[in-house]
């Protein structure tokens, strides 16, 4: 029996994880569930999965949730705040941590879990993007198991040589091919992009995701962050990573080997596939996903990304090559700019402009310790906020 803490339980990844876990009650037990502000949803999940601990964002809601759980006959202990997230992620009885908190807020509890040697199912790409080598060093030093859950990185992991562990330089791999759907604006006339609305930007053609991730997918910053993540996870320079637009989202990514072989992982676009793989690795278990019907798919299309349409992808490659705190600056500026766009403060095309200005103004420094990384993150947020009045 493996015991699980889910950071970000009320989001799409958290819900999908609980769906897979519920299919295998003999294998998995939920110990802790967390959310930021969706208290009612967390209450319902606690009723269903009966965790020992529940963590929420604000202290003000603790007593109310605790009372509701007690009235429902549950002994779940309710806690709040960033320290509580780290506490449940490092509990001795927790074997696996699903890291699914969106954005920089997921960094500290995920890093704490890495330092404690947990199996980390990494769905929060920002934690790795921001802390980079610090995070990977923590994994190596503690002996933690790092399993990528992003569909693309999970696909790459599955296509790596037998016995491969994240962070190692993969033998005989020539190139990583990172697929992208292209998002909702793949064929939108460029002159229309400044007039894109938040409602249009969050309407992803393939995935049902939160607003921030959906906007990142539309701008392809999501793919840019994945380039940085892939470089760290698989110990390859950005020059050996190629982004390929594949609108069908059936091939989740590919690995090109020196002998000319190209291995790909295919499946229906459902996050329960990589989640089930991460939970059971190196085994495979039933995930609840329908089998892929190639005859229904019929065709697979590929094209290179247009960087004039997706300037955020170009900026991410530049940050990946610069290294140091540049990825942290990139991520922080993006989070601020996306929030400003969703609030109607800047146009859609202003997202890339804010990020570009931030990277061109703030110098990248060495990312030798967590304090340096967090300082860069804070500085980038202050600067980007001044660009989004």
Looking at residue 208, its pLDDT comes to 63
pLDDT, tens only, 83-134: 999 999 999 999 999 999 987 889 999 999 999 999 999 998 888 998 999 9
All structural domains of the chain, each given as residue ranges with its CATH number in brackets, are 2-148 (3.40.50.720), 151-270+278-318 (no CATH), 323-389 (1.10.1740.10)
Average pLDDT over the chain reads 95
The beta-carbon contacts of 281-286 under 8 Å, at least 24 apart in sequence, are: 281/145, 281/147, 285/20, 285/23, 285/24, 285/27, 286/23, 286/24
pTM over 0.75: yes
Looking at residue 47, its pLDDT comes to 97
Distance of CA 299 to the CA centre of its chain: 28
pLDDT, tens only, 22-76: 999 999 999 999 999 999 999 999 999 999 999 999 888 999 999 999 999 999 9
User: Is the pLDDT at 254 greater than 70, yes or no?
Assistant: yes
Q: What percent of the chain has pLDDT over 70?
A: 98
User: Is the pLDDT at 7 greater than 80, yes or no?
Assistant: yes
Selection from 34, 39, 44, 28 nearest residue 14 by Cα: 34
* Alpha helix ranges (H) inside the chain: 12-22, 39-49, 62-71, 82-89, 107-115, 125-131, 133-142, 151-159, 198-201, 211-219, 221-233, 272-280, 294-297, 311-322, 326-342, 350-361, 370-386
pLDDT, tens only, 320-335: 999 999 999 999 999 9
Read off the DSSP letter of residue 260. S
């Amino acid at each position: 029996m493996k015991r699980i803490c889910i950071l970000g339980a009320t989001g799409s990844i958290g819900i999908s994880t609980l769906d897979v876990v519920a299919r295998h009650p003999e294998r998995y037990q939920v110990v802790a569930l967390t959310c930021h502000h969706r208290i009612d949803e967390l209450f319902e999940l606690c009723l269903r999965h009966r965790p020992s601990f529940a963590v929420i964002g604000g202290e003000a809601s603790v007593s109310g949730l605790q009372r509701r759980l007690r009235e429902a006959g549950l002994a779940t202990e309710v806690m709040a705040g960033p320290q509580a997230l780290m506490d449940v992620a490092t509990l001795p009885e927790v074997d696996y941590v699903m890291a699914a908190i969106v954005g920089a807020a997921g960094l500290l509890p995920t890093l704490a879990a890495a330092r404690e040697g947990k199996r980390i199912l990494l769905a929060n790409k920002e934690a790795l993007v921001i802390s980079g080598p610090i995070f990977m060093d923590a994994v190596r030093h503690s002996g933690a198991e790092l399993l990528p859950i992003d569909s693309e990185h999970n696909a790459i992991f599955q296509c790596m040589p037998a016995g491969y562990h994240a962070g190692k330089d993969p033998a005989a791999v020539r190139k990583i091919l990172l697929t992208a759907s292209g998002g909702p604006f793949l064929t939108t006339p460029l002159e229309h992009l400044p007039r894109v609305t938040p409602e249009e930007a969050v309407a992803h053609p393939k995935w049902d995701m939160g607003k921030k991730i959906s906007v990142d997918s539309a701008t392809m910053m999501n793919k840019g962050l994945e380039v940085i993540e892939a470089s760290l996870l698989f110990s390859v320079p950005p020059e050996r990573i190629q982004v390929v637009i594949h609108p069908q989202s059936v091939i989740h990514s590919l690995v090109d080997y020196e002998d000319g072989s190209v291995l790909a992982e295919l499946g229906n676009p459902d996050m329960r596939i990589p989640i089930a793989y991460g939970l059971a690795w190196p085994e495979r278990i039933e995930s609840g996903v329908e089998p892929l019907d190639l005859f229904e798919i019929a065709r697979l299309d590929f094209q290179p990304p247009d960087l004039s349409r997706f300037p955020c992808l170009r900026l991410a490659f530049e940050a990946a090559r610069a290294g140091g705190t540049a990825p942290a600056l990139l991520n922080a500026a993006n989070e601020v700019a996306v929030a400003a766009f969703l609030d109607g403060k800047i146009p859609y095309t202003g997202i890339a402009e804010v990020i570009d200005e931030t990277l061109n103004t703030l110098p990248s420094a060495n990312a030798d310790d967590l304090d340096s990384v967090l300082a860069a993150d804070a500085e980038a947020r202050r600067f980007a906020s001044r660009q989004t009045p």
